[in-house]
Amino acid sequence: MTPHRSFSRLGAVVLLLLSAGPLAAIEPGYEALDIYTALSPSSSRDTTWKPGDGVTLEVSGLAWIGPDRIAVAVRKGEVWFIDGVLGEDPKQMTYHRFASGLHEPLGLLPDGDGFLVVQRTEMTRLRDTDGDGIADEYLTAARGWNVSGNYHGYAYGPERDGSGRLWITTNVDMGDRANNAAPWHGWALTANADGTVTPMAAGLRSPCGMGANLAGDLFVTDQQGTWVAATPIHHLRRGVFYTNPEGIAAQEAPGSPLRLSAPVPEGKTYAEAVRALPEMAPAAVWLPYNKMGRSATDIQVIDQAGKFGPFDGQLLVGEFTNAAVSRVFLEKVGGEYQGACFPFLSGFPAAVVRLAFAPDGSLFVGMTNRGWSSLGNRSYGLVRVRRAGDLAFAIREMRAKSDGFELVFTEPVDAAAATDPASYAISSHTYLYSGAYGSEEIDPADHAVESATVSTDGLSVRLKVAGLRELHVFSLKAAGIRSRKSQPLLYPDAYYTLNRIPAASGS
């Protein structure tokens, strides 16, 4: 089968879009099948890809419902079932509309004998009560956040944490920010069985995606903008404030779980701001601007028993503008999450918005540009990615130590290169905390690698690093590292958010 279009090789995946037919073998390590995309900037769809009369598949929610079926929420108000998605030929897939008439649903979660979706105004339960394959029951499951006519007044979810709680996040309005004085703009909420919601955390701007890790703790992405210096990943919990105060007026409303104990410390460095405001929870991970993306979206934990590579327990994070998927390693230090982010999958045909795994270990990637721009050349679509062959040599983990960092690799390193401190370059920075749109990297410093010690099995290297600084992002470039097979790192870069330096006894 002749490829319809080849995308540039940027890392561990190359996306090759097929007009229809068998899955193409792509090196190194992953292969991808385009299930459905639409050309951009024209609103017309490419007839090569059009199933039936065509579906405007602006993916805003994904859920695997098996045995060979995926459910897809569409931003313009529909839910579709696609069957045959684990096959090799997109022409054999069938599409069935389950629900319609929704108001910009930005999530999809199977629940009992139905589905939950969050629309702008409420969380809705969809059920098919007569067995004809079409939802005939649309019931309000929860409501209670204030909605305006602002175009940016999105609501996302629901997502379930390990305790079974259903979480919803809301945007702050933009342009007419006076609306944000009404509860609960820019908050995380939980839905209650009686249809009410409980406010949990404040300080969000555009919290597009949520996902739980293997421990059941829930995380949320936010997007760079006013009061958000770069792209953060936050650990969701009750009674904390993140970065954006535009919706903080709701702290005066009944049921608010927090009240800021000091004025918002505008104009300080981010490190100083976190220290000055006790309720301000530091981001678990910062994804530096453009180096790791610009607008993070969905979160999906890898729990595939090795079928998607040696990264189980880590998080995948969708990226809108750069049309990519990042990889995040988390650890707890002093009882709080922090960790590192790594480039992972690139070259998707449109903005990545939603992620979901199938039982065979393949990853479904749902996309929509929503009229904004991304590095892809398409408007929307759905792509399936799966393992194929040997993976590229990569940094698997980056862990904080009392005197530096430990790097864990996907295969043994060449000892001569790995023990040479000149193989590494490490620097750190923080951000300016202000109401401006994003921030440059400020307060930079270079850090000497004083020694590098390779483990007996060659899979890890312990770096002793001078001058560690808490509440700073540490940038690593390991350009001199080679594997024992003399392969360079496909991505020599990693970024660790060092909120706390571990005690020496835990090193």
**Across 425-449, average pLDDT:** 97
Instruction: In whole angstroms, give the CA distance from residue 330 to residue 301.
Output: 11
Determine the average pLDDT of the residues in 203-211. 97
| Total domains in the fold of the chain | 2
For residues 318 and 458, state if they share a domain.
Answer: no
Q: Model confidence at 89, in pLDDT bands (50, 70, 90)?
A: confident
Asked if pLDDT for residue 42 goes beyond 50, the answer is no
In a shared domain, residues 322 and 431: no
Same domain, 146 and 218: yes
Say if residue 369 is in the same domain as residue 304.
yes
pLDDT in tens, 453-487: 999 999 999 999 999 999 999 999 999 999 999 99
CB-count exposure of residue 263 (10 Å: 0-12, 13-18, 19+): exposed
Output the pLDDT for position 372.
Answer: 79
- Per the structure, the complete domain to which residue 448 belongs is given by 395-506
- 382 and 468: one domain? no
pLDDT for 38 equals 67
- Do 241 and 127 fall into the same domain? yes
Q: pLDDT confidence of 374, banded at 50, 70, 90? A: confident
Final residue before a domain boundary, out of 386, 406, 432:
386
What confidence category does residue 114 fall into, taking pLDDT thresholds of 50, 70 and 90?
Answer: very high
pLDDT digits over 285-326, tens only? 999 999 998 999 999 999 999 999 999 999 999 999 999 999
Tell me the CATH number at 407: 2.60.40.1220
pLDDT value for 45:
39
Do residue 172 and residue 224 come from a single domain?
Answer: yes
CB 239 within 8 A of CB 232: no
Average pLDDT, the chain: 90
Whether 160 and 281 share a structural domain: yes
Flag the least confident range among 18-27, 101-110, 345-354, 428-437.
Answer: 18-27
Burial 465-494 (b: 16+ CB within 10 A, else e): beebbebbbbbbbbebbbbeeeeebbbbbb
The model's confidence at residue 54, banded by pLDDT at 50, 70 and 90, is low
Report the pLDDT value the prediction gives residue 447, as an integer from 0 to 100.
98
> Do residues 192 and 308 share a domain?
yes
14 vs 326, residue with greater confidence? 326
Which CATH number covers residue 168?
2.120.10.30
Q: Are residues 149 and 17 in the same domain?
A: yes
Residues 411 and 269 in one domain: no
Examine the domain organization and report whether 404 and 372 are in the same domain: no
